[in-house]
């Protein structure tokens, strides 16, 4: 069957990346984590003290950033590299999480990363998750999903994930971070998080990961048939 592209957008910690990874593996498609790219740029900006209000410094920094994904066969997952260094764990720390939405709101940053993401999605057979995938990055994606979930449930899930990585973070701090990021991500001028009309909405509050995977796989199969 002809390959399609699947765009998964939504708020933080609704289950986008966990779902996207499984869907991609079942379809033997490529999974692309666009958030990891924004996180890697943010890490570079923090480590190099880049002043976000200084256009020249932002341009210079972007020229010096090279992001790629490499498969770790031991862990059986793809990991994010920034200028040749494995930053997969560091980009998920609160240091980066607390800054990422400010960096992602910069139009210059979005321009560079959207171009890179569009290149990766060109050949079809891609499942990409983020905030602007259905609206900006892959507007022609055959299947678009918009994920939501109750904020407290999202915060508890994120807290559990951080705990598994031995990071103990207070629930209130996580709720505050999710609220702040949702606000910045939905209100920025370029590439805001929106639900496009054609996207199917999945509220993951009361369902299991497997249930949302099944729903997307069913939708994907019918789009593939339509696309023949």
Query: Which amino acids are annotated as binding site for ATP, given as ranges?
Result: 10-18
Looking at 5, 17, 80, 159, which residue binds ligand CDP (CB under 6 A)?
17
Tell the smallest beta-carbon distance from residue 30 to ligand CDP (Å).
Answer: 16
d(C-alpha 154, C-alpha 178), whole Å: 9
Triad 119, 122, 128: Cα angle to 5°: 80
Assigned token pair, 28: 């033997």
How far apart CA 1 and CA 17 sit, in angstroms, is 25
x/- track of binding to ligand CDP for residues 111-130 (CB under 6 A): ------------------xx
Alpha helices in 140-208 (DSSP H): 151-164, 171-187
Q: Which residues are annotated as a binding site?
A: 10-18
Q: Is 16 in the site for ligand CDP (CB under 6 A)?
A: yes
- 185 contacts ligand CDP (rule: CB under 6 A): yes
Q: Which of 122, 142, 173, 118 is CA-nearest to residue 130?
A: 118
Coil vs helix vs strand at 87: coil
With H, G, I as helix, E, B as strand and everything else as coil, classify residue 122: coil
104 lies in the site for ligand CDP, by CB under 6 A: yes
CB of 101 to ligand CDP, least distance (A): 4
Cβ proximity to ligand CDP: between 78 and 101 the closer is 101
For 59, the enclosing helix (H) or strand (E) is: helix 55-63
Q: In this complex, which beta carbon is closest to ligand CDP, that of residue 142 or of residue 185? A: 185
Sheet of 67-72: strands edge to edge? Answer: 67-72, 77-82, 85-86
Whole-angstrom distance, CA of residue 130 vs CA of residue 3: 20
SS3 211: helix
Question: Residue 102 Cβ, how far from ligand CDP at the closest point, in Å?
Answer: 8
Q: Which is nearer to ligand CDP, 39 or 151 (CB)?
A: 39
Q: 146 vs 227, which CB is nearer to ligand CDP?
A: 146
Binding test (CB under 6 A) with ligand CDP, winner from 101, 135, 199, 202: 101
Please give the residue ranges that form the binding site for ligand CDP (CB under 6 A).
12-18, 34-35, 38-39, 100-101, 104, 129-133, 157, 161, 181, 185, 204, 207-209, 212
């Amino acid at each position: 069957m002809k390959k399609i592209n699947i765009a998964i957008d939504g708020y933080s910690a609704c289950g986008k990346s966990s779902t996207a990874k499984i869907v991609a593996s079942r379809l033997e498609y490529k999974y692309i984590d666009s958030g990891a790219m924004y996180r890697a740029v943010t890490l570079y900006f923090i480590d190099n003290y880049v002043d976000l209000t200084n256009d020249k410094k932002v341009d210079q920094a972007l020229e010096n950033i090279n992001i790629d994904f490499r498969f770790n066969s031991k862990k059986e997952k793809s990991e994010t590299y920034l200028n040749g260094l494995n930053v997969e764990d560091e980009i998920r720390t609160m240091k980066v999480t607390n800054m990422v939405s400010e960096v992602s709101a910069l139009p210059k940053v979005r321009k560079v990363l959207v171009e890179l993401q569009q290149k990766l999605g060109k050949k079809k057979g891609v499942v990409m998750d983020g905030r602007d995938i259905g609206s900006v990055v892959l507007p022609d994606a055959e299947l678009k999903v918009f994920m939501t979930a109750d904020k407290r449930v999202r915060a508890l899930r994120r807290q559990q994930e951080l705990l598994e990585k031995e990071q103990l973070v207070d629930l209130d701090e996580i709720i505050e971070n999710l609220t702040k990021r949702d606000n910045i991500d939905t209100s920025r001028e370029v590439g805001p998080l929106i639900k496009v009309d054609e996207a199917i909405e999945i509220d993951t509050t009361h369902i299991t990961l497997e249930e949302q995977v099944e729903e997307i796989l069913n939708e994907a199969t019918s789009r593939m048939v339509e696309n023949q």
